[in-house]
A and B are shown apart, each in its own frame.
Chain A
Amino acid sequence: GENVEQHPSTLSVQEGDSAVIKCTYSDSASNYFPWYKQELGKGPQLIIDIRSNVGEKKDQRIAVTLNKTAKHFSLHITETQPEDSAVYFCAAYTGNQFYFGTGTSLTVIP
């Protein structure tokens, strides 16, 4: 089955700096890649997603890039703010199932 690896597991950045989280996947048939933000005590919130026919997608301060050849995709957060602090999960969809990364705990230091 699919294997999704996510790095780093923890990330601290100064407010205003950029944050990058990377995920790799193993199954070339994976065709949908969402990113989730999970705050303490809440369910994962979909923040951005990308399909395999697109290389990059941007939504305000958040962007996702996909490299199908290398089988990796990344989340980019620019101009980070303290409210960006949370755990972020990547996922890859193949067949009829999602496979999740192990999560990145992002801390934005004011």
Chain B
Amino acid sequence: SAVISQKPSRDICQRGTSLTIQCQVDSQVTMMFWYRQQPGQSLTLIATANQGSEATYESGFVIDKFPISRPNLTFSTLTVSNMSPEDSSIYLCSADRGSYGYTFGSGTRLTVV
């Protein structure tokens, strides 16, 4: 079955610091996506990451706050910068894995104190 590995699975961070979340796909994919999910809420797309180009950010999300890297076709990172308690959320990466469908990682539960 499709595997997208995401780490860390959870973290508690001090405000003002940054956290980088890693996402590894077990096959090459063109696009990877980063989402945020507030507790009990649906998923909100942060940005789309294509290999070899700048990520495309959705309204309300900016590169300075959520820089994304996509160094190859199986890996991406999302950094949450200068964190505040409002950034506490679940962060999810996803990718279209062809016949396996559009699948998600297990998520990173971030708490900012």
Contact = CB atoms under 8 A, between A and B. Distances in A.
A98 B106 contact: no
Interface footprint category on A: 20 to 34
B31 A96 contact: yes
Nearest to B4: A43
A49 B101 contact: yes
Interface stretch (B11-19, B42-50, B61-69): B42-50
Most chain A CB atoms below 10 A, which of B2, B6, B100, B106? B106
Nearest to B93: A43
A102 B44 CA distance: 10
Contacts of B33: 98
Given A100-B43, A101-B42, A103-B42, A45 B104 contact: yes
B-side interface size class? 10 to 19
Interface string A89-107: 1010100111011110000
Interface string A14-57: 00000000000000000010101000011111100100000000
B42 A42 contact: no
A77 B31 CA distance: 31
A96 B50 CA distance: 12
Interface in B69-113: 92, 100-107, 109
B104 A98 contact: no
B107 A43 contact: yes
Contact of A97 (B48, B101, B104, B107): B48
7 contacts: A32-B102, A34-B102, A43-B105, A43-B107, A46-B104, A97-B48, A98-B45
